[in-house]
A = this chain, B = another copy of it.
Amino acid sequence: MAAAEPTRILMAVNESTIKGYPHASISSRGAFEWTLQKIVRSNTTGFKLLFLHVQVPDEDGFDDFDSIYASPEDFKSMENRDRTRGIHLLEYFVNRCHEIGVACEAWIKRGDPKEVICHEVRRVQPDLLVVGSRGLGPFQRVFVGTVSEFCVKHAECPVITIKRKADETPQDPVDD
């Protein structure tokens, strides 16, 4: 039963909307720690974690009210800054894996998270995709959409959805 190859788990991770740079979102951290405790357990050589962070170009732009874009270089410097933030986010997960002794890889893509995640599943062919979910009700969902619902339907591998715990929900549940 013990396969030679480790089970490759792709985890889609994103930044917190409330705690800012360089914090991982509540649902990303929750999904990660749950996976270590409940799936990997003591079998650290049986698993490899793959971290994918998808940056949303437009959403990141909201932080740039004070910026002036006068040349292509200005956009380039913004992209570099986003890139740096993404790298710091991934550093958090990679460091935790190294502490524990679980093999990992991490990378950044830009685009619509749900589309990019499903595309990366086709490309990388993990055994399992883990997505954290804010666990929003139908009313809240109308405005924000959910990446997890889309991935459960469309990703070409088994998908695990891990809802944020009730006691970790911030004042505005759309935050994460």
> How far is A163 from B127 in the complex, measured between Cα atoms in Å?
12
Interface 1/0 per residue, A32-48 and B, CB below 8 Å: 00101111111110100
For chain A, what secondary structure do more than half of its interface residues adopt (helix, strand, loop), or is it mixed?
A: mixed
The yes or no answer to A90 lying at the interface (CB within 8 A) is no
Q: A45 to chain B: closest CB distance in Å?
A: 10
CB distance from A175 to the nearest CB of B (A): 21
Count how many chain A residues have C-beta atoms less than 8 Å from C-beta atoms of the other chain: 27
The answer to whether A3 has its CB under 8 Å from any CB of chain B is yes
Closest chain-B Cβ to A138's Cβ sits at a distance in Å of 9
Name A42's closest neighbour in chain B (CB-CB): B2
Minimal Cβ-Cβ distance residue in B for A39: B39
In the complex, chain B residues whose CB is within 8 Å of the CB of A100: 1
Contact of A42 among B36, B43, B152, B159 (CB under 8 A): B43
